Structure 1
Amino acid sequence: MEDWNAGRIPGQDGRVAVVTGANSGLGLSTTTELARHGARVVLAVRDLDAGARAAAEIRKSAPRAELEVRRLDLASLDSVKAFAGELVADHPVVDLLVNNAGVVLLGQRRTTADGFELHFGTNVLGHFALTGLVLDALERAEAARVVSLSSLSHQNAVLDFGDLMSERDFDASRAYGRSKLGNTVFGLELDRRLRARRSSVISALAHPGLTSTNLTPRAWEDRGLLGRVIARTYLLQTQPVERGVLPQLYAATAPGVRSGQFFGPSGRGEKRGDVAEVRPSAEAANPAVGTRLWAAAQDLTGVTYL
């Protein structure tokens, strides 16, 4: 995988791809490259105006890009269900789902429209429900893939199944780490369940290392002078989005990717570097944790599959 770059993405003509959080950062870069290589990409975004601006930006470098902007608010199960229903009605076959969107907040605990802690409800439960509601369309494709986005922050996190919504003891940084652990556990458990039923759908995972998206700096900058200093210090350690996006593009498009594989940067601490296969934390890889999370997610969302 050394020196793998977006120029090596194989042709995506005829493929339908869905990218959540497609209007900025890693999602925008993922959408741009998929469109440049011929895929019809659905930009699943919370803000339709932001999605339209992103589509216009993409068309500047890819005038023939086939793009659809559709509203998806992962913090609302009603929105997830509406999006999935309309998507599958228009696209009975979906070739790629990139569960990219994520929220990171600092400060006080906030909740989704359904009363879930915002990080866990959006990053984990929203994507869990979306994947289940789109799974039939993915299984109609010849070789569909689901790519789940993890983070370095998953490595030191532990899921508290007695308090998944962080009601007893909330810490924003810890809640975010737990949500990214949840994404990782989900992607690996999805792989186990797909293989158990001999599905042709691949579940792969990726993380961008430390990448200069607007997510973390924006959260810190809301916390005054010290927050702005921390944000700028963080940015000095990061790699550009064009590099950070490569692991998820590899997981989504590279020939030979196997279900259950996890990709990230190859450098020290997986912070930056070429695309490489990486290992999840022991907590993330534990099948018992996967089983418990799956059962909890089904109960919380009401979306049951596999």
Structure 2
Amino acid sequence: MDARGMKIFSGSSNRKLAEEICSILKKRLGDMELNHFADGEIQVKINETVRGYDVFLIQPTSYPVNEHLMEVLIICDALKRASANRINVVMPYYGYARQDRKTAGREPITAKLVADLLEAAGVDRVITVDLHAGQIQGYFDIPLDHLAAGHLLARYFKPLVQEDPEDWVVVSPDLGGVTRARKFSHDLDLPIAIIEKTRPRPNESIVENIIGDVQGKNCIIIDDIIDTAGTITNAANFLAEKAGAKDVYITASHALLSGPAVERIEDSAVKKCVVTNSVHLPESKECSKIEVVSIGPQLAEAIRRIYNYESVSELF
């Protein structure tokens, strides 16, 4: 059945991004109230009809991840019970993705659990950006559009690289990120280097070796997530102080910037940290080293194509 039209709503996670998307699509942001009961439970009230409409809900599940995930589930339940035609969740940052498989006994697979919860809540489609692990796409039994932010980040660096491309190299922060780094290096037509590291515990790492030539080079370390920034700033400091690199840049799709992340970036050898606005960056986390490029136009175009039954593959 054809939809009566499109409506866009936003949770509390990244309303600024939702407003940007609405501005691009020339749509009004849907009227919805989010409140809490005295015990902290989330209360949702949708103040306009959604019956028969294709609804797009903008909500990355960033900090506080549990709150924002529950918002998604409750809002989608409300939309389903209000007879929305199709419920599309635009989740640029997909929380709980780092537990995507069992690496030891008695561990959960939270990436699969979240997929199941979204489907149970009535979601018909998910649009996301740079999942922590590509295989998470297989956890969904509904359509999932997996967009990439690499070309947006590469666009920032192209003017710098073109001045003297032989002086630049793309660096993967670990062996698991080689595919991401190689795609990024192809966008910029640069060689790559790889950092070998060990992780004694979560959010900590020790650099063991570097594969590739970084001596006298400007380095771009690319990752999907910057959380506490401990791992990536350690890598940047190692490149600058022990491996002979010149300027070191770091870039990632999702800037969680938890805990001491901003201070670590400010105090490190990093010249610039380039991220997208998939996660809202509050004023308290802004600093002169952090540059934000908007993923809003790409998400808006994906929404437009999905609503009009056009190909989305060009945006991958």
| Same fold flag (TM > 0.5) | no
Larger RCO, structure (CA 8 Å, separation 6 or more): 1
Flag the structure with higher helix content: 1
Instruction: Report the TM-score when normalising by structure 2.
Output: 0.40
**Which structure is larger by alpha-carbon Rg, 1 or 2?**
2
Give the alignment's TM-score, normalised by structure 1: 0.41
Greater share of strand: 2
